[in-house]
Amino acid sequence: MTLSDLHVHTTFCDGENTPEEMVLAAIERKMQRIGFSGHSYTSFDSSCCMTIEGTEEYKKEIRRLKEKYSDRIEILCGIEQELFSDFPAEGYDYIIGSSHYLKKDDGNYIAIDYSPEVFEEAARKYYGGDYYRMAEEYFENISSVADMGADIVGHFDLIAVFNKGNRFFDENNSRYLAAGKAAADKLLKKGLSFEVNTGAISRGRRDIPYPVPEFLRYIIKNGGSVVLSSDSHRTDTLCFEFDKWREYIDSLL
């Protein structure tokens, strides 16, 4: 079985290690493949993304590493393309399509994974405290990554990033489930793969990966393909808990 991780961030965006440090860590872990997926440039929020100039340097550096380590590991140059990015995703081996924001009529972009406090305030200000309406908008957004050339759906239910223990809403609520399954249906029709993302576990935000079991079972039952990813931002979380969650995925097949 190929040990592979395609959702990896570096110092070109919000990661803690350089691409070469990540490659060396991957080789040490006896990985056969590593795929880099820098955050695409977004003009409205530069806190986590690559710059325009940095994007070209990123591509150049990954090409250098591909050649340098070609006899030791397969290296892919991908992108985590934000739905609201204003910079095209061109020249990559693959695209992870993600939605980290809710775009509002007043011109604001709400980062849903910034903090619980920002998330709660956004729900109050823009949705009158209706978290299900907020989730419905999010799922409509994530379903649209199918229209921007994505190959893989990034953290499908990121809207629940701070919802451990149903802190803000019930993830078994019929409105929530209906919105998620409708989005999954659209993405499945386009043939996208879904990542089983362990990144929030390694960061202490969740106990289970994205998507939650209800959505993951639905995706698999309806013929969807899945790929394990760590959403790693540092060397020690590459392939985080893959053995554990691979068994879990197998149990749903």
Which residue reads 């920002």 in tokens?
Answer: 118
Rounded to an integer, the average pLDDT of 177-199 is: 98
Amino acid at 79: I
Phi, psi of 250 (to 5 degrees): -60, -35
Q: Give the helix/strand (H/E) hosting 103.
A: strand 101-103
What is the domain partition of the chain in residue ranges?
Answer: 4-252
Flag whether pLDDT at 134 surpasses 90: yes
Q: What is the pLDDT of residues 70-124, one digit of tens each?
A: 999 999 999 999 999 989 999 999 999 999 999 999 999 999 999 999 999 999 9
3-state secondary structure 165-194: CCCCCCCCCHHHHHHHHHHHHHHHHCCCEE
Report the alpha-carbon angle 174-195-33, nearest 5: 170
Q: Find, among 166, 91, 109, 98, the residue nearest to 132 by Cα.
A: 166
Task: State how far the Cα of 48 lies from the Cα of 236, in Å rounded to an integer.
Answer: 20
The percent of residues in the chain predicted with pLDDT above 70, rounded, is: 100
Task: State how far the Cα of 248 lies from the Cα of 4, in Å rounded to an integer.
Answer: 17
Residue-level pLDDT at 51: 98
Q: What is the pLDDT of residues 118-128, one digit of tens each?
A: 999 999 999 99
Q: What is the pLDDT of residues 198-223, one digit of tens each?
A: 999 999 999 999 999 999 999 999 99
Task: State how far the Cα of 68 lies from the Cα of 253, in Å rounded to an integer.
Answer: 38
* DSSP assignment string, 185-251: HHHHHTT-EEEEE-HHHHTTS-SSPBSPHHHHHHHHHTT--EEEE--BSSGGGTTTTHHHHHHHHHH
Q: Find, among 162, 246, 146, 149, the residue nearest to 200 by Cα.
A: 162
Q: Give the helix/strand (H/E) hosting 53.
A: helix 52-68
Candidates 3.90.1150.10, 3.20.20.140, 3.20.20.70, 3.30.950.10; correct CATH number of 4-252? Answer: 3.20.20.140
